[in-house]
Chains A and B, each alone.
Chain A
């Protein structure tokens, strides 16, 4: 009772301060009011999950390239040990979330709308929970002390944050495998690195958590506000932001208070250092999707992220509170991202709660621990009811992306009735937070006019589901957009592949053509050579003939003279003999001149034979 009064008061004071114009707020177009359904799960402190007998840790839990496994089957691994290294610029390492033996590195089903499998490291855990030795950058002050509000001797703390270099912090974040825990799963270190280079001046921390049922960020802020604040300070230092705004929906007064007192505790403790944390907590009206990155930026700063652009283009970087807490853990405890807070809620769960679950724990184990009314289960949804997806089975692991497990009971979530034709009521465009024209995009998606869809900025759609929710004809609009986006990406990819194939084919044709020309040229040259040789031979032969003929003539003529004279026969016969002998000698001489291949050694002869054989073969092939 007391609590609720207090809560009402805080809410009142929040509303007042907004009204009083303490915070200048802007607004985003569209959006819808949704029932929160958060109170079921946000009253208990964070529980922790028991270590599962078997952990299944996917190697790709982030946007970008999958991690490269560095362990082998049979290896003994400790908690916190690296299982896979980051592979490429946009990637993140993956760590063991418990100690044990690696029993397999294979494809296992992972939580994904497709229900497909991906490469996972499977660890059979032992009971020892052995940890690798963590190397924090800053020694941690006991959180309990901080909570007690005691003046901590930690002005050293602030100094140590400033003493750290950006590279140090960023490489610690990269090594810890931290990814955007708000749902984007973009490797945090890569994002911070770009922000640092782009001179980002505003850091926005997303604590809105606008989707119904989900409360993991809420309880994180309530029960570990110091971690969040210190994490934020670290991020702020790395990106070099001048100011930091925390946007929180006004339905979380407890979290708001907790953060406020954490900040004032921090300022109090750091009076000596005379530094203001320069963090502002700004409550924003609860309206879905206020937690969308672009929407939150618009509400807090009045600036709009350009179409198909990034917040960094307008000097803003956005991070989630849970990411900030993970950064804290990495820097102050040296602990990699091996567990996350998961909201377990829905009608079929006996005790809705938030649980800190080691990555890789089977969802079945988590649900059993939370207590499940098996007969009541209708659907298991990962994520919230607006943007989440139904899981095909509960024998898949919790990953860095698992913020909420919503186990709906029958009739808790209505199954969409069959879609009716669009009546052009424009409720969808009224609710669209991105100011798109959903009904137009729907028509084009249906008739697969992909260029038109792009003209209507399909790719600015954040798939928030407001339009489908608002549509009185129950048209599953978002599914059309997802499908159309996929189609377009698919087409581009195919196009690229076809272009590559064309290039390679053309290159091949060109190469073959060149080879053919070269061959023809070679053949022509050979022929020419041959012809020349022939001509030469022919000439020689002619000369020879001519010579021979002349000598014959001579002998003939002498012979004829002799015979004609018919005198001294013996003389003449001698002469003839002489002439013949002369001619013979001459011939022999000529022959020996022409042939230099006589008197060859056996080796040389063999070589020649081989060469001849080769030549004849070649000509046969040709």
Chain B
């Protein structure tokens, strides 16, 4: 009887110790849900969700303080994947219709730039290069298209342009096959069926 109780106390304290140590040693820095949500967000850092960047928004979603439909750059795809991840209902995008017009990048009109460095301070990903009274420029590959640099510019010399479509970034369109969709058909008919007639006996 006594030995049994002692044994259990010993076991309990041993495991308690192990668990306690483990929770200290292998401490997870931030909540895994937040990280998972953050991994889905587009990291534009634009703040259109009314939070100060993607990570704060992820935290808010995880805490149940924000709905999943506040991110225009993520679009419907993001809502879908967030709904899948969190097992909640898919919502309609909460933004203006024209909010998401495909990827864009900022360009600085070099003639007008006065080198005030205000846009550099605004860029959330350090994608603008320049120094005081020197012309600035946007590193295109780093620009997330968040538009945060537009407002601070005192001479309005930053413009958003759509990312140029080239042979390299072109994508096959989604197949839409129906009898009256001629337009789609002419562009990407691959004639998979073309020989069907010949082959049939």
Query: Interface on A for B, CB 8 Å cutoff?
Result: 32-35, 37, 60, 110, 112-116, 118, 212, 379, 381, 385-390, 392, 408, 413-419, 465, 468-469, 474-480, 482-483, 486-487, 490, 494, 497-502, 504-505, 507-508
Contact status of A465 and B53, CB under 8 A, knowing A116-B165, A501-B125: no
Contact status of A479 and B190, CB under 8 A, knowing A385-B195, A486-B171: yes
Which of B11-19, B22-30, B174-182 binds A?
Answer: B174-182
Which of B38-46, B91-99, B150-158 binds A?
Answer: B38-46
Q: Say yes or no: B170 contacts A479, CB within 8 Å.
A: no
Asked if B166 lies at the interface with its beta carbon under 8 angstroms from chain A, I say: yes
Contact status of A465 and B41, CB under 8 A, knowing A501-B125, A504-B142: no
Q: List 14 A-B contacts (CB under 8 A).
A: A114-B167, A116-B167, A116-B170, A386-B192, A413-B195, A415-B185, A416-B177, A469-B195, A469-B196, A476-B175, A482-B172, A497-B144, A501-B142, A501-B144
Bound CA span A500–B127, Å: 11
Contact status of A413 and B43, CB under 8 A, knowing A112-B167, A118-B166, A483-B174: no
Contact status of A490 and B171, CB under 8 A, knowing A498-B41, A499-B43, A504-B142: yes
Bound CA span A113–B190, Å: 9
With a cutoff of 8 Å between Cβ atoms, the chain A residues found around residue B170 in the complex are 112, 114, 116
Q: How far is the CB of A90 from chain B (nearest CB, A)?
A: 13
Bound CA span A34–B196, Å: 9
Task: Across the A-B interface, give the 8 residue pairs with the lowest CB-CB distance, nearest first.
Answer: A468-B192, A413-B194, A498-B43, A501-B43, A479-B175, A504-B125, A114-B170, A486-B171
With a cutoff of 8 Å between Cβ atoms, the chain A residues found around residue B199 in the complex are 32-35, 469
With a cutoff of 8 Å between Cβ atoms, the chain A residues found around residue B45 in the complex are 501, 505
With a cutoff of 8 Å between Cβ atoms, the chain B residues found around residue A478 in the complex are 190, 192
With a cutoff of 8 Å between Cβ atoms, the chain B residues found around residue A381 in the complex are 191
A468 — nearest CB in chain B belongs to which residue?
B192
With a cutoff of 8 Å between Cβ atoms, the chain A residues found around residue B42 in the complex are 494, 498, 501
B180 — nearest CB in chain A belongs to which residue?
A418
With a cutoff of 8 Å between Cβ atoms, the chain A residues found around residue B115 in the complex are none
Q: Say yes or no: B193 contacts A502, CB within 8 Å.
A: no
| Interface residues of B, dominant DSSP | loop
Contact status of A413 and B187, CB under 8 A, knowing A483-B173, A487-B171, A494-B42: no
With a cutoff of 8 Å between Cβ atoms, the chain A residues found around residue B172 in the complex are 113, 479, 482-483, 486
Bound CA span A593–B54, Å: 63
Bound CA span A390–B174, Å: 17
Asked if B31 lies at the interface with its beta carbon under 8 angstroms from chain A, I say: no
Bound CA span A501–B38, Å: 12
Contact status of A414 and B197, CB under 8 A, knowing A110-B167, A386-B191, A486-B171: yes
Contact among A34, A60, A385 for B191, CB-based, below 8 A: A385
Q: How far is the CB of A499 from chain B (nearest CB, A)?
A: 7
Bound CA span A389–B170, Å: 15
Q: Say yes or no: A389 contacts B190, CB within 8 Å.
A: yes
B127 — nearest CB in chain A belongs to which residue?
A504
List 6 extra interface pairs beyond A469-B199, A479-B175, CB under 8 A: A35-B199, A494-B42, A501-B43, A501-B45, A502-B43, A508-B125
Bound CA span A505–B54, Å: 10
Q: How far is the CB of B102 from chain A (nearest CB, A)?
A: 12
Bound CA span A475–B144, Å: 38
Total number of B residues with any Cβ neighbor in A under 8 Å = 42
Bound CA span A84–B14, Å: 72
Bound CA span A565–B199, Å: 146
Bound CA span A368–B80, Å: 52
Q: Say yes or no: B192 contacts A469, CB within 8 Å.
A: yes
Q: Say yes or no: A418 contacts B177, CB within 8 Å.
A: yes
Bound CA span A112–B187, Å: 11
Bound CA span A499–B43, Å: 7
Asked if B101 lies at the interface with its beta carbon under 8 angstroms from chain A, I say: no
Q: Say yes or no: A465 contacts B166, CB within 8 Å.
A: no
Asked if B159 lies at the interface with its beta carbon under 8 angstroms from chain A, I say: no
Q: Say yes or no: B175 contacts A385, CB within 8 Å.
A: no
Bound CA span A504–B143, Å: 11
Asked if B3 lies at the interface with its beta carbon under 8 angstroms from chain A, I say: no
Contact status of A465 and B171, CB under 8 A, knowing A418-B178, A498-B41, A504-B142: no
A118 — nearest CB in chain B belongs to which residue?
B167
Q: Say yes or no: B194 contacts A385, CB within 8 Å.
A: yes
With a cutoff of 8 Å between Cβ atoms, the chain A residues found around residue B142 in the complex are 500-501, 504
With a cutoff of 8 Å between Cβ atoms, the chain B residues found around residue A416 in the complex are 177, 189, 192-193
Question: Which of A379, A417, A480, A498 is most buried by chain B, counting CB atoms within 10 A of its CB?
Answer: A498
Q: How far is the CB of A476 from chain B (nearest CB, A)?
A: 5
Bound CA span A52–B83, Å: 58
Q: Say yes or no: B192 contacts A476, CB within 8 Å.
A: yes
With a cutoff of 8 Å between Cβ atoms, the chain A residues found around residue B173 in the complex are 483
Question: Which of B175, B178, B186, B190 is most buried by chain A, counting CB atoms within 10 A of its CB?
Answer: B190
With a cutoff of 8 Å between Cβ atoms, the chain B residues found around residue A386 in the complex are 191-192, 195
Q: How far is the CB of A72 from chain B (nearest CB, A)?
A: 23
A500 — nearest CB in chain B belongs to which residue?
B142
Bound CA span A472–B127, Å: 53
With a cutoff of 8 Å between Cβ atoms, the chain B residues found around residue A379 in the complex are 189, 191
Q: How far is the CB of A37 from chain B (nearest CB, A)?
A: 8
With a cutoff of 8 Å between Cβ atoms, the chain A residues found around residue B110 in the complex are none
Q: Say yes or no: B43 contacts A390, CB within 8 Å.
A: no
With a cutoff of 8 Å between Cβ atoms, the chain B residues found around residue A465 in the complex are 190, 192
A113 — nearest CB in chain B belongs to which residue?
B188
Q: How far is the CB of B123 from chain A (nearest CB, A)?
A: 8
Contact among A389, A408, A469, A474 for B188, CB-based, below 8 A: A389
Q: Say yes or no: A502 contacts B38, CB within 8 Å.
A: yes
With a cutoff of 8 Å between Cβ atoms, the chain A residues found around residue B178 in the complex are 418-419
Taking CB atoms and an 8 Å cut-off, the chain B residues in 119-169 that contact chain A are: 124-127, 142, 144, 165-167
Contact among B38, B127, B191 for A390, CB-based, below 8 A: B191
Contact among B125, B187, B191, B193 for A115, CB-based, below 8 A: B187
A463 — nearest CB in chain B belongs to which residue?
B190
Question: Which of A212, A390, A417 is most buried by chain B, counting CB atoms within 10 A of its CB?
Answer: A390
B189 — nearest CB in chain A belongs to which residue?
A390
Q: How far is the CB of B55 from chain A (nearest CB, A)?
A: 8
Contact among A37, A110, A483, A490 for B175, CB-based, below 8 A: A483
Q: Say yes or no: A508 contacts B126, CB within 8 Å.
A: yes
Contact status of A469 and B193, CB under 8 A, knowing A479-B172, A498-B43: yes
Q: Say yes or no: B126 contacts A507, CB within 8 Å.
A: yes
Q: How far is the CB of B143 from chain A (nearest CB, A)?
A: 9
With a cutoff of 8 Å between Cβ atoms, the chain A residues found around residue B193 in the complex are 414, 416-417, 468-469, 474, 476
A482 — nearest CB in chain B belongs to which residue?
B172
Contact among A388, A392, A502 for B54, CB-based, below 8 A: A502
With a cutoff of 8 Å between Cβ atoms, the chain A residues found around residue B171 in the complex are 483, 486-487, 490
Q: How far is the CB of A528 from chain B (nearest CB, A)?
A: 29
With a cutoff of 8 Å between Cβ atoms, the chain A residues found around residue B185 in the complex are 415
Question: Which of B45, B54, B125, B187 is most buried by chain A, counting CB atoms within 10 A of its CB?
Answer: B125
B80 — nearest CB in chain A belongs to which residue?
A448
With a cutoff of 8 Å between Cβ atoms, the chain A residues found around residue B44 in the complex are 501
Q: How far is the CB of A212 from chain B (nearest CB, A)?
A: 7
With a cutoff of 8 Å between Cβ atoms, the chain B residues found around residue A505 in the complex are 43, 45, 53-54, 124-125
